[in-house]
Amino acid sequence: MAEKTVVVTGAGRGIGQACALGLLADGWTVVLVGRGKEALEETAASAPVADRDRAVPFAADITDPAAVGELFGFVVDRFGRLDVLFNNAADVMPYTPTEDVGIDDWHRVMDSIATGTFLCSREAFRVMKGQTPRGGRIINNGAPSAQVPRPDSIAFTAAKHAVSGLTRSLSLDGRRHDISCGQIDIGNVTPQDRPQPAVLQADGSRQAEPTMDVRHVVDMVRTMAALPPGVNIQSVLVMPSAMPYVGRG
């Protein structure tokens, strides 16, 4: 592929790390974004030697408008354009009854997911509408909770519902600038370093739910990123077939 640049937030671990490595394998130049530089450097170092020169760590707090501005300024200065943004970063919190959710936890979850997605997308719009050739693509990481909640997850559920609204607004507002925006809602991914925990169910019980290998998520993100201009996957849900979703809640 011709040299193309993608920004992946939350690239220091988990889904963000796996997707960043998958995009590197496809020939993308990948700007790895997260708060911890050491984790980003570990992601870059885990890529095959032939891909490492296209893995570029950039430590930034995506809830900070100034830091986000510096990030996208760096991308333009270093690479000249931005082709894809994958908004993946998120902070979470333990299951907590609504009446016990602290305001600091509420802001932390909402800021990392909703505000971070907005700030990065705003800067991506500014870059993509002015570059030549014009346009680009934004991929937002949602969740099944963007459609239906789990019990005692009001902050995460509200934040992921906000992401769905952001996706639709970005998709609409991006049309006149040749900017596409789609969302991938991701079900249970098999943990790499611990057993699958029991998850709170609507009836109050806890169950260890089915999981899937992260490669299925990576394959979908790679597919979305590689679509030609003018073609979009508006929304897609990737999940284990037996995971509680339809009828949840």
For residue 245, tell me if it sits in a domain. Answer: no
In sequence order, what are the beta bridge partners of 212?
189
Q: Tell me the per-residue pLDDT of 91-145, one tens digit each, with 9 for 90 and over.
A: 999 999 999 999 999 999 999 999 999 999 999 999 999 999 999 999 999 999 9
Q: How many helices (H) and strands (E) does the chain have?
A: 7, 9
Burial class (CB in 10 A: 0-12, 13-18, 19+), 132: exposed
- Mean pLDDT (the chain, rounded): 95
Above 80 in pLDDT, residue 193?
no
- Residue 16 in any domain: the answer is yes
- CATH number of the domain residue 68 falls in: 3.40.50.720
244 lies in some domain: no
- Residue 154 neighbours by CB distance under 10 Å: 18
The pLDDT score that the predictor gives to residue 204 is 85
φ, ψ at 59 (rounded to 5°): -75, 125
Residue 88 pLDDT level (bands cut at 50, 70, 90):
very high
Residue 247 lies in a domain: no
Q: By three-state DSSP, how is residue 179 classified?
A: strand
pLDDT value for 248: 63
pLDDT score at 50: 93
Q: Is 63 part of any domain?
A: yes
- Residue 223: domain span: 5-238
Looking at the 3D structure of the chain, how many domains does it have? Answer: 1
pLDDT of 199 over the 90 cut: no
Output the pLDDT for position 119: 98
- Residue 33 backbone dihedrals phi, psi, to 5 degrees: -115, 140
> Which contacts (CB < 8 Å, 24+ apart) does range 16-22 have?
16/86, 16/88, 16/89, 17/43, 17/46, 18/214, 18/215, 18/217, 18/218, 19/86, 19/88, 19/217, 19/218, 19/221, 19/222, 20/55, 21/46, 21/47, 21/218, 22/218, 22/219, 22/221, 22/222
Q: How many Å apart are CA 152 and CA 200, to the nearest integer?
A: 8
> 249 in a domain, yes or no?
no
**pTM for the full predicted model:** 0.95
Place of tokens 């760096």: 74
CB-based contact 32:18 (threshold 8 Å) = no
* Residue 148 domain-assigned (yes or no): yes
Residue 243 lies in a domain: no
Mean local confidence (pLDDT), 56-67:
98
CA–CA distance, 3 with 128 (Å, rounded to integer)? 16
Which pLDDT score, from 0 to 100, does residue 2 have?
A: 60
